[in-house]
């Protein structure tokens, strides 16, 4: 089973779990404060409370752990 990354919903503060193998893009959407968006394919986007750098680092670490564990 792939390792899931735990993020925080910016709306209600509840945890959301992401499979890093399914992520296609991560970007910052302008706003105050700016939102970090995780994209899956072309039709599904998920906003998270964590910063862009923190989000990418968590996804990279999980992907590396998954590769090392194979």
Domain boundaries, the chain: 5-63
Domain 5-63, CATH = 2.40.50
User: What gap in Å lies between CA 48 and CA 8, rounded to an integer?
Assistant: 6
- Average pLDDT, stretch 4-15? 93
Instruction: Decide which of 27 and 3 is more confident.
Output: 27
Checking if the pLDDT of 70 tops 60, the result is no
pTM: 0.84
The 10s digit of each residue's pLDDT in 25-49 is 999 988 777 889 999 988 899 999 9
Q: What is the DSSP letter of 41?
A: T
Residue 12's pLDDT is what? 93
Count the alpha carbons within 13 Å of 59 in the hemisphere toward its beta carbon: 23
């Amino acid at each position: 089973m792939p390792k899931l990354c735990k993020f925080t919903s910016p709306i209600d503060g509840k945890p959301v779990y992401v499979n890093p193998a399914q992520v296609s893009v991560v970007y910052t959407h302008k706003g105050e404060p700016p939102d970090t968006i995780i994209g899956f394919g072309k039709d599904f986007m998920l906003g998270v409370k964590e910063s862009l750098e923190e989000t990418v680092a968590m996804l990279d670490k999980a992907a590396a752990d998954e590769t090392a564990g194979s």
